[in-house]
A and B are shown apart, each in its own frame.
Chain A
Amino acid sequence: MNRFAELLDRLAYEPGRNNKLRLITGYFREVGDPDRGYALAALTGALSFKHAKPALIRDLIAARTDEVLFGLSYDYVGDLSETVALMWPKATLAAHNNPPPPSLTEVVTTLRTLGKTELPKQLERWLDELDETGRWALLKLVTGSLRIGISARLAKTAAAALGDKDPHEIELIWPGLAPPYLDLFAWLEGRGDKPVNRDPAPFRPVMLAHAIEDGDFAALDPADYIAEWKWDGIRVQAVAGRDERGHITARLYSRTGEDITASFPDLVPSLRLPGAIDGELLILREGRVQSFNVLQQRLNRKVVSAKLIKEFPIHLRAYDLLGDDENDLRELPFAERRERLERFIAKLDDPRIDLSPTVPFDSWEALTAARADPASAGAGEDADAVEGVMLKRRDAPYLPGRPKGQWWKWKRDPHIIDAVLMYAQRGHGKRSSYYSDYTFGVWTETENGEELVPVGKAYFGFTDEELLQIDRFVRRNTTEKFGPVRHVVHEGDKGLVLEVAFEGLQRSPRHKSGVAMRFPRISRLRWDKPPREADRLETLERMLKAEPAEIDV
C-alpha cells in the first residue's frame, strides 16, 4: 500500500502526461503481481466495494485526538482524508510485535468481503500500520474519492508500454479482463498468450479523420468521396451482442474505449439488434438537434435522474456500421458498410437511433456551398448543430487510428473576434515561468463610460514564438500584481489586441459579461491594431440571439 500511495502522491503533483506515463509504467515494472493489477484497477476505476462514509472517518479521528486540535487542523488543511492521514496518532505497539503495513492486495481483497460493522476496526488497524502518504491513499480509496487526474486510458497506455504494445490492443481485450489482470501482465511481459476478449459487446478502436487544408483538394477527386455532416455532439460506439445464453448485452463506449453506458441508460433499450454502430451522441428535442451546450449539461453527471433523462432526451445519429450480428464489417469498403448501415437502421426502426444523412455534391465548389450554408443543403433546422462536413473515401476500410487520405474533416470557420488582453496568469508545469493564461475583454458602454469587460480566457492557440512575445509584453506592461495574476495595461491606445477564435457562445450568469465562449483560443496577435478598435460586447450579444435559450435542470 505504501508503494502504491507513493505513486499516487507523485502523480498528483506531476503535470506532464509523458512523465505520468513513465511514473506508472515504472511502478508496473517494479511492483509484482497481484499488487500492480489492483493498482491498475484502482487507476481505471475498476475496483468495486462499498465506500466508507466521511462520518466514519470523523468518528475514528475523534476517538484518537483532541476535538479542538482536529478542528484547527481541518481548517488549515481543508481536506478530511489528508487531515486525518497527517495527524493520525499511531497506537503505541510493542516494538517486536509491529505487523508490516498492508499491501494494496490485502486492502482491496479485505474491503470486498468485509462487513460494515467490521470496517471501523479494520481501518483503524491499517491507519496504525501505514505511513502518512499510505494513510492518505487508503482514506481516498475507501471513501471513493481517488481523484488524481489520471484517465483510465492513461493507465492502460502505461500498462501497454510495459510490453511495447499499442494501447488499442489493451482496449480491445479490456472488457474481458478482471483485476488483478494476471493474464494481461503475463502477456505484456512475454510470459503468456494474449488474453482473449470473450465479451459479447467489445469495443473496436475507432477510425479518425485528418483536418483538410486548402491545398489538399487539388489531389482529391470528388467522385471518390461521400460527404456527411459533422455533428457537434460526442463520438460514440454503440455495441450490442449476445452472451452465451443468448441474451443481448449493450454497451456504449467513448472514442477512447471507456464504457459510458451507465451515463445513458435511456439509450440501452434501443440497442437491441446485435451489431456495432459508430455514431454521434446528441440531444434531440421535438426532432431537433440541440447545440453542444445543451448536451454538455447532460455529460459528467454522477447521478442520471429521471428528470435529466426527460429534459435531455438522448439520441444516436449513426454514420457507420462496424459489425452486423456475428459479421465483422471493418474490412469492407465504406460505401458497402454504408448500405449495410442503412438496412440495419431501417430494420431497427427506433426513434432514438437514426441515420446521419449524406450530403450530395458533384464538385468541391458545391460542397463548399453546402458547408457554408448547411440549412439549405439538407440539414434544415438542425444546421446549428453542424460543425462542418466529413469526407470519407468510398473504398476506405475501417482502420483504427488516423490513417492518411481516408477520412477528412472540414470544419466550419470558427467565430472570430478581436479582444483586448486584460490579465495574464502564470501557466503550470513547463509553462510555470511564462504568463500563458490570458483573460481578454471587449468594449462596452457603462455608467463610467467606455470600459473593457472580460469575456473569456484562453491558454493556447499561439506558437512558442508568440508565447515569448506575449510573455515579454506582459512583463513590460504590468500595471498591478495579484499573486500569480498580472493586470496588463488595457486602454484605448495602450495594450495588446488578440484575435480570438471560438466555436460557440452561451449565456452565463457567472460571467460579468453574461456570455461564455466555447473552446476559445488565440488565433493571431494583432500588434497592428489599437485596442480601441477591438470588438464590442454588442457583437457577441448579436451572435447569442442565434443560440437557443438554455433550460435549467
Chain B
Amino acid sequence: MRAQDILLPNAAGLCCKPGGFHIDPVRPVERAVITHGHSDHARAGHGAVLATQETLDMMRLRYGENFAGSTQAIRYGEEIRLGDVKVKFHPAGHVLGSAQVAVTCKDTCIVASGDYKDAPDPTCTPFELVPCDVFITEATFGLPVFRHGDASDEVKKLLASVALFPERAHLVGAYSLGKAQRVIKLLRQAGYEAPIYLHGAMETITHYYQSRGIELGELKPVKGMKKAALAGTITLAPPSATADLWTRRFPDPVTAFASGWMRVRARALQRGVELPLVISDHADWDGLTATIAATGAGEIWVTHGQEDALVHWCRSKGLKAQPLDLVGYGDEEESETPLQGEAEA
C-alpha cells in the first residue's frame, strides 16, 4: 500500500482516510488524534479526541470541559484499531504527555512525530525511537546553525547573572506549557532553592505539572509582591509579558528568554532580550538528522519549519524526502494564546 493512501494532508490537517481521523487538525473534524497540548496542535471543537491523559487534561484546562464531543485516553505503548489502521502512541519527549503517533496499515508503518526532542528533559517521558517506513518530522530548527547544547549550562548562565546582579530582578520569558516547568526543574537540579515566582498565566499549567508528580519546589505568584522584595529573585513569565507594562513591577529587570531561537543573535536583539538562554523543546539540527537516520525510514516527510534544508539533507543521504505543506502550525512562542481565564496577570 502506498503511504499517501494512508496519510495525506488536506485543508484540515494530516488526514488518515482508511482510519477515518485527522492528526492534529487545525479545523474541527469528526475524529482527531492529538500529539500534544500546545494550542497549534490541540484545538477545541472536534467530535471525538484520542490523546494521552495529560494532553486531554491540558486541553480541558485551556478550553473548558466541553472542548470536544467525546474523549478517549491512550497510554504510551498502547495500540488501538481505528477503521482499517492500527494506531500506537510513543513518547515524543517534547512536553508532558506529548506523543508520536505510529499509524500501521497492512505492512506499512508511518510515524507522525508531532513536535519532539531527543534531549533530556526531567519533566516528561524521554523520546522513544520508533522504527518505521515513513517518518514525518518537524523542522522548527531545521538549519545546521541550530545546535542547542546542554540546557543545564544555560541555567548556570542564568544563576551566574542572578549572583552578579543581586539588586535586579530576573525575568525569564518561557512558554507556559512545558518550557517554564522545565526551566524551573533545571533550576532546582542546579541547586537553586529559593522560591520561584510565576506570572499569573503560568500558574494553572504549572500546578497541573505538580499534580502529576513533578517536584518543582516552592512557587509563588508574583502578583501582590512589593517591588523591592523582588530584587535577586527569578520570575517565569510568558514571552509576550516580558516587554510590557507588567515588567514595571520589577526592580531594574534583566530580561531573559528561554528558547531555541536564542541561538541566533539577531532574534534575541530584536526582542530586546538581555540574557538569551538557548533552551529548546524541539530537536536541534543534530537531533533531527540523527533521529531521521535512526528510524531506518526510507522516506521522510518534513513539516512546519525550515523544510528546505532538512529535505536537502535527507536527499543528500539517499533518502526519499518531501516537504509536507501543512499550514497552521508554528512556533508556539510566537503565537501563544493564554489559557482560559488567565489573561489577567
Contacts and interface: CB of A to CB of B under 8 A. Distances in A.
A528 B293 CA distance: 70
Contacts of B245: 433
A13 B275 contact: yes
Contacts of B146: 86
B120 to A, nearest CB: 19
B149 A132 contact: yes
B331 interface: no
A77 B264 contact: yes
Nearest to A84: B145
B276 A13 contact: yes
A429 interface: yes
A83 interface: yes
Contacts of B149: 131-132
A162 interface: no
B309 A132 contact: no
A476 interface: no
A330 interface: no
Contact of B316 (A66, A428, A432): A66
Contact of B313 (A69, A86, A131, A433): A69
A534 B264 CA distance: 44
Given A86-B263, A426-B243, A430-B252, A69 B272 contact: no
Contacts of B343: none
Nearest to B250: A433
A16 B168 CA distance: 12
A371 to B, nearest CB: 41
Interface string B302-317: 0000101100110010
A72 B255 CA distance: 30
Contacts of B268: 13
Contacts of B144: 65, 69, 73, 86-87, 89
Contacts of A14: 274
A69 B309 contact: yes
Interface in A1-49: 10, 12-16, 19, 22-23, 26
A73 B243 contact: no
B269 A83 contact: no
Contacts of B143: 69, 72-73, 76, 87
Q: Is the interface of A mostly helix, strand, loop or mixed?
A: helix
Contacts of B312: 66, 68-69, 72
Interface string B176-199: 000000000000000000000000
A78 to B, nearest CB: 6
Given A22-B165, A432-B247, A72 B309 contact: yes
B165 A433 contact: no
B145 A86 contact: yes
Given A76-B264, A77-B264, A77-B266, A23 B164 contact: yes
A382 interface: no
A79 interface: yes
B75 interface: no
B244 A79 contact: no
B243 A86 contact: no
Given A13-B276, A432-B243, A26 B264 contact: no
B147 interface: yes
Contacts of A68: 309, 312
Contact of A87 (B145, B248, B252, B276): B145
23 contacts: A10-B275, A13-B269, A13-B275, A14-B274, A19-B165, A26-B164, A66-B312, A66-B313, A69-B309, A72-B309, A73-B309, A76-B264, A77-B145, A78-B266, A83-B145, A86-B264, A87-B145, A132-B147, A132-B149, A430-B252, A432-B255, A432-B272, A433-B247
